[in-house]
Structure 1
Amino acid sequence: MPTRGIQAIRGMNDILPDQIYLWEFFEQVVRDWMAAYGYRNIRMPIVEQTDLFVRSIGAVTDIVEKEMYTFLDHLNGDSLTLRPEGTASCVRAALEHNLLYAGPQRLYYSGPMFRHERPQKGRYRQFHQVGAEALGYTGPDIDAELIVMCAELWKRLGISGVRLEIGTLGNTESRAVHRARLIQYLERHLGDLDEDASRRLHSNPLRILDSKNAAMKEIIDGAPRLLDDLDEDSLAHFERLQQILRIQGMNFEINPRLVRGLDYYNRTVFEWTTDKLGAQGTVCAGGRYDGLVEQIGGKAAPACGFALGVERVLALMVENASEIPCPVPDAYVIHQGEAAHDLAWKMARQLRDEGLKAVLHCGEGSFKAQMRKADASGARFAIIIGDDEAQAGEISIKPLREAAEQVRAGLMEAADLLKKNLRELEPENS
C-alpha cells in the first residue's frame, strides 16, 4: 500500500516563490508607511496564555467559544493558545516591558494569526494581519489618524473601491442603558431569534446586531440604536472625529449597527469594506479600546488601533491590477570549461560586490541549455564566459530582453558596463 504524502493543514497555506514577491512588495510599503506616521515595530510570540484572550476578547464571543487553537502544555500544565488576533498580545507586551512609562506609544506588528474557521477565499485558519496600536492617546485625533493612515495605504498600494464605515459604541454606562433596551426589544421577538441570538440574548446581546443570518435582518433593522443612548462625552468624541475626517477630505458612512467581534472596544469603531472579495468584504477594522489595558492588568490607559487582513489586501491589489515590480536577476552567468568556471565564480562575486543581482549557473549543460535557463530566470542580461573569454580574461554581455548586440568587456569594467546598460533599460529611459 503506497504511503500517503503529508500535506499542509487545511486552511494553512504555503506561500510559494512565484507569489512571494507580492508579499515582499506589500511588506516594504507597510514598513515605509508606518515609519512615515511614527509607528515603531514590535514582535510578539504567536503563543500566549489562554487567559489573555479570554479576558480581553470576551468569553462569550465566536473567537473564544469556537475558533481558538487552545492546547495543554503537557510539560507544565499551562493552557496555551495560538494568537487569534494581535491587540491583546501587543498590550500585554507593552505592559510587561513598561513601555507606557516612557509616554504614549505608536506601535505596529505583522504576522500570522490562527482561528479554526471554515476555510474559504479570504478566510483561512492561518492568516496574516498588520496591526497598529496607539497606546496612551485620549482624543479623537488619534482615531482619525488611524483612519486616514489606512486611506493613505490604499493609495500607496493602488487600491480603489474600499469604503469606510464608522460608528461608536459609547462608554460602559451608555452601553449598559442600551443593553437593557436591546434585551427588552429582543425578548419580544424571542420566537424568531436563531440559535446564536438566543444563546447570546442575556450574555452578549450587542453581538446579535452583527449577525450575518439573513432571516435576522428585519429584527436587527428594527432594534434600538446605540447612537440614541450615547452619553454626552462619547457623542462629542464621535462628532469631533467626523469633523476631522471631513476636514481631511475623507468620505465615510455612519453605520449605527457597526459592532466589533471583540468585547474590548468602546467609543469609535470603524471598518473598511469592499464588494470585490465576495462574502469576505471587511479588509480592515478597528476602533478605540480604552478599558483593555486595565483589563489585562495595567494602570488604566486609553488606546486605539486597527488590524488589516494581508491576504485580503493582496487579493485587492491583484483585483485592481496594481503595478507590482517582480524582482529578477540583473545577470545570469553562463560558463563552459574549467578556466571559464573559475572566471565565472569570480565574475559573479564581483557583480554582487557592486550591488548587482547575479545568478551563477550550477551544474552541467551546453551553452544553448544554459541560455534557456538564463531566459527562464527573467534576467536582463546573460554573462557568457567560454574558452575564448577565459583566455582573454574577458566576458561577453548579451541582452536577453531587447534586440541589441552582444558586447565583450574586460573583467574590471564589466560591472560598470552592466550598470550602464541596466540604467538604459529603466522605464524613464525607454
Structure 2
Amino acid sequence: MNIKAPRGTADVLPQDAQKWQFVENKIKNICDQFHYKEIRTPLFEHTEVFQRGVGDSTDIVQKEMYTFEDRGGRSLTLRPEGTASVARAFVQNKMYGEPSQPIKLFYFMQMFRYERPQQGRMRQLNQFGVEVLGSADPAVDAEVIDLAMTVYQELGLSSLKLVINSLGDAESREDYRNALITHFTPHREELCSDCQNRLDQNPLRVLDCKTDRNHPAMGTAPSILDYLNDESREYFDKVKEYLTLMGISYEVDPNLVRGLDYYNHTAFEIMSEAEGFGAITTLAGGGRYNGLVNQLGGPDTPGIGFGMGIERLLMALDAENQQLPIDETIDCYLIAVGEEVEKEAVRLVHELRKNGIQVDKDYQGRKMKAQFKAADRYQAKMVLILGEDELKKQVINLKDMETGEQIEVSIQSVVDTVAGKLQGGREK
C-alpha cells in the first residue's frame, strides 16, 4: 500500500502553513488597497475552456493537463491556470454588463499540471493572480505590474528583475509571425520536434523553447519590436512611461513571448536574482489578452493579468533570508491538576475563548511540571494555575511569563484581568 503523497504534491505542515497565511493575508490587504475583489472558480472546467482559452498549440494543453471523462461522458480538466477560468466566469455571469468597469479581480487557486517536478515547480501548485477585464488603457498594464511588484517588495524581496515586452496588436503579431516562419524554416530540421510543430501552429513559441534556446538561429531571430505598427509602439511607450513615473525599473526583452496563445501587447515576467535561488528564476508572469473573452463566447473585451506562484514566492523569501514576522506565541495556557479542577478548567478555557482570548490547556493528563514545559513550548504570554486549594477559594494564580510576576485573582474576574493585561501589552 502506497501511503505517500503523489509525486509532484506536498503537504503544508502547521509550521509552514503560518507562513502561507501571513503571505496570503498580506496579499489580500494589498489587493484591497488597489481595489481588487476576490473571485473563486471551480477546481475543474469543461476541457474546451482551456483548449479555446489557453490554445491547442501550448504545452499546457498538449502535454500537461489532467483531463478525465465524467459519468456523463463529458470531458473535464483540473484547471492548469487561472485566466481562462476567470474569463469563463466573466462571460457566464455577464460581468461585462455591470455598471462599474473595468472588473478588477484577484484569486488564490490550486492549479494542476503534469510536468516533471522540480524545486518550486509541482504538479499541484498554488497561485495568486489578478485579472482586469474591460479596459484597454495602458495605465492598467502599469497598475497590474505595480501590484505584483508591491507584493514582493512589501514582503521584503529586493533581488528582483522586471522584464517586459510587447507582442503588439493582431496586425503586428501576424507580421512578426510570418517573419519568424521565414527565419526558422531553413533550420526546421535542426529544431526539436516540438519547435517543428510550433513553427506551423504558433511560431512565437519557438523563442520560448528551452531545448533549442542555444541554437544559433535563436540569436539572429527577428525582434518583435521591429514589427510593431505605430499604434502598438505608442501603446508600449505609454506602458514604459507609466512604469518610469512609478519608479519601477524594467528591462525590455524582445524574446519574451510567454507560453500561452492569448497574449497580445504587454507581456512581462518578474524574476529573482537572489544568489542560490535556482535555475528557474521566474516568480510571476502575465500580460494582456484582448481577444480571450471573445474566444470564450463573450463580447470583445480587453483584459490583462498575471499569475504568481506562492511556492516560488516562499522560496525567494528563503533565498534572501527574509524572516516573516510570524507570531508563534499564544495569549494564555491554563494549568490544572485534579479531576474537579479539570472540570473548571474546561469551563474556563471555553469562557476565555468566547471573549477573544487565545488559550490552550493540557489534554494528556500530565503533571504540573510537564504542563509548565508545554506552556514554554507554546510561548504563552501568561499561565493560569488552578489547583484544588485555589478551586476551593474560587481563585486562580496568574503568572506573567515575561516578567515572572505572579498574582492571585478571583475566578470570576480572571477573564477581565487577562484581557486587560493583553490589551496593556499591545499598547506598549
Percent identity (aligned): 39
How far off its partner does 1:215 sit? 5.6
Worse-matched range after superposition: 134-143 or 4-13:
4-13
How far off its partner does 1:360 sit? 2.5
The aligned residue for residue 263 of structure 1 is 261
Question: Aligned pairs, how many?
Answer: 423
2:38 and 2:262 map into 1 onto residues whose CA distance is 23
CA contact (8 A) 1:47 1:80 kept: yes
Indicate yes or no: 2:96 matched with 1:95. Answer: no
CA contact (8 A) 1:194 1:216 kept: no
For residues 354-374 of structure 1, give each alpha carbon's deviation from its aligned partner in whole angstroms, at most 9, with x where no partner exists. 211011322312111222222
The aligned residue for residue 105 of structure 2 is 107
How far off its partner does 1:391 sit? 1.1
The aligned residue for residue 173 of structure 1 is 171
The aligned residue for residue 353 of structure 2 is 352
State the SS of the aligned residue for 2:127: strand
Moved over 4 A (4+): 423-426
The aligned residue for residue 364 of structure 2 is 363
CA contact (8 A) 1:272 1:284 kept: yes
CA contact (8 A) 1:123 1:280 kept: no
Q: What is the TM-score with the length of structure 1 in the denominator?
A: 0.94
Q: What is the TM-score with the length of structure 2 in the denominator?
A: 0.95
What amino acid sits opposite 2:45 in the alignment? E
Worse-matched range after superposition: 140-149 or 209-218:
209-218
What amino acid sits opposite 1:315 in the alignment? M
CA contact (8 A) 1:159 1:322 kept: no
CA contact (8 A) 1:193 1:216 kept: no
The aligned residue for residue 153 of structure 2 is 155
> Relative to 1, partners in 2 of residues 1:19 and 1:72: Cα closer, same or farther, differing over 3 Å?
same
The aligned residue for residue 80 of structure 2 is 84
1:290 and 1:140 map into 2 onto residues whose CA distance is 12
2:52 and 2:191 map into 1 onto residues whose CA distance is 27
Indicate yes or no: 2:72 matched with 1:71. Answer: no
The aligned residue for residue 283 of structure 1 is 283
For residues 164-208 of structure 1, give each alpha carbon's deviation from its aligned partner in whole angstroms, at most 9, with x where no partner exists. 011010111111111111111112223432232223222121111
Task: Spell out the pairing of 1:28-427 with structure 2 (5 A cutoff).
Answer: 28-73=25-70, 75-102=71-98, 103-213=101-211, 216-276=214-274, 277-320=277-320, 321-400=322-401, 402-422=402-422
What amino acid sits opposite 1:63 in the alignment? I
1:360 and 1:300 map into 2 onto residues whose CA distance is 59
How far off its partner does 1:231 sit? 1.4
Equivalent of 2:5 in 3, 8, 16? 8
Structure 2: which 5+ residue stretches go unaligned?
Answer: none
For residues 107-141 of structure 1, give each alpha carbon's deviation from its aligned partner in whole angstroms, at most 9, with x where no partner exists. 11112000001111110000011111100011101
1:131 and 1:156 map into 2 onto residues whose CA distance is 17
Worse-matched range after superposition: 334-343 or 114-123:
334-343
How far off its partner does 1:339 sit? 2.7
What amino acid sits opposite 1:32 in the alignment? N
State the SS of the aligned residue for 1:413: helix
1:389 and 1:316 map into 2 onto residues whose CA distance is 52
How far off its partner does 1:262 sit? 0.5
What amino acid sits opposite 1:233 in the alignment? E
RMSD: 1.7
State the SS of the aligned residue for 1:269: strand
How far off its partner does 1:406 sit? 2.4
For residues 271-298 of structure 1, give each alpha carbon's deviation from its aligned partner in whole angstroms, at most 9, with x where no partner exists. 1001332122111111100000000110
Indicate yes or no: 2:28 matched with 1:27. Answer: no
How far off its partner does 1:424 sit? 5.9
What amino acid sits opposite 1:240 in the alignment? K
1:194 and 1:337 map into 2 onto residues whose CA distance is 74
What amino acid sits opposite 1:161 in the alignment? S
State the SS of the aligned residue for 1:189: helix
CA contact (8 A) 2:161 2:250 kept: yes
2:342 and 2:109 map into 1 onto residues whose CA distance is 42
How far off its partner does 1:60 sit? 1.0
State the SS of the aligned residue for 1:251: coil
How far off its partner does 1:237 sit? 0.5
How far off its partner does 1:85 sit? 0.2
